[in-house]
Structure 1
Amino acid sequence: MTDPSQGVFAISVAADLASMQIQNLRVYERRGLVSPARTPGGSRLYSHDDVDRLRRIGELLGDGLNLAGIARVLVLEEELRALRSRDRRRRSRTG
């Protein structure tokens, strides 16, 4: 299977997969909520991880959060994943 963080989707495909408008993806990129890869010519390439993140942004928008709130939630969710991963590694070492 391909690396889920590798950019493979054009912006139109990513927008369709995330059920969003293309212009929204551009806004989310400007706000730092998503960072698609770029081709040498400058076209955006969205990964499976990016599409998952866009779907999460859509969920949070649906819950009534604004973009600043969404940015904070995404950071906190990433910190939580990292802490859980670190905890699992510690537990596996101690038996």
Structure 2
Amino acid sequence: MDEHSPLFAIAMAAELAGMHPQTLRQYDRIGLVRPTRTAGRSRRYSMRDIEQLREVQRLSAEGVSLEGIARVLTLENQVAHLTSRVRELENALSDQVLKSSGRRVFAAGEHGDVIPLRRGTRTQKRTEVVIWRPLREE
């Protein structure tokens, strides 16, 4: 089930969020949580909407104004969108790197630093041998 799928009618969403249905209508009117509308104009809430309703309830209990709550929700939605976009770009980049086989973009140095490599070059291999002996307790 996708968290953005509009599945719940207002009565069920109110029960899941622990609120009165009239409160959900009020939050919809002022734009805190905007449920999807059916062809008959009834509200349908997703799990994401219900999570936001719970967040509104929590912030309101902590004394945050409705205007402040709206700002917090806007910022949280922006963060979620940007996080999703970063994942998309990371996947696209990894797909591109896999398609260009035999090409190294960079190597990691011994201290975690990034070492850029030209095409066709390799990193130097280390040949040191390290022997580890546990301390003997006497």
**Given residue 56 of structure 1, which amino acid in structure 2 is its aligned partner?**
E
Pairwise mapping of residues 1-95 of structure 1 onto structure 2 (< 5 A)?
2-84=1-83
**Given residue 54 of structure 1, which amino acid in structure 2 is its aligned partner?**
L
Aligned partners of 2:54, 2:81: CA distance in 1, in Å? 21
Higher relative contact order structure (alpha carbons within 8 Å, sequence separation ≥ 6)? 1
The count of aligned residue pairs is 94
TM-superposed deviation, 1:91: 7.5
Aligned partners of 1:16, 1:35: CA distance in 2, in Å? 17
The residue matched to 1:20 in structure 2 has which SS?
Answer: coil
Question: Counterpart of 2:113?
Answer: none
Provide the alpha-carbon RMSD of the alignment.
Answer: 2.2
Q: Give ranges in structure 1 of 5+ residues lacking alignment.
A: none
Aligned partners of 2:36, 2:89: CA distance in 1, in Å? 33
Q: Give ranges in structure 2 of 5+ residues lacking alignment.
A: 94-104, 107-138
Whose radius of gyration is greater, 1 or 2?
A: 2
Aligned partners of 1:57, 1:41: CA distance in 2, in Å? 27
TM-score (normalised: structure 2): 0.59
Aligned partners of 2:5, 2:52: CA distance in 1, in Å? 14
Aligned partners of 1:52, 1:72: CA distance in 2, in Å? 16
**Given residue 35 of structure 1, which amino acid in structure 2 is its aligned partner?**
R
Identity of aligned residues (%): 46
Change (3 A) 1:8 1:61: same
TM-superposed deviation, 1:86: 5.6
Aligned partners of 1:18, 1:64: CA distance in 2, in Å? 18
Which has a greater percent of helix? 1
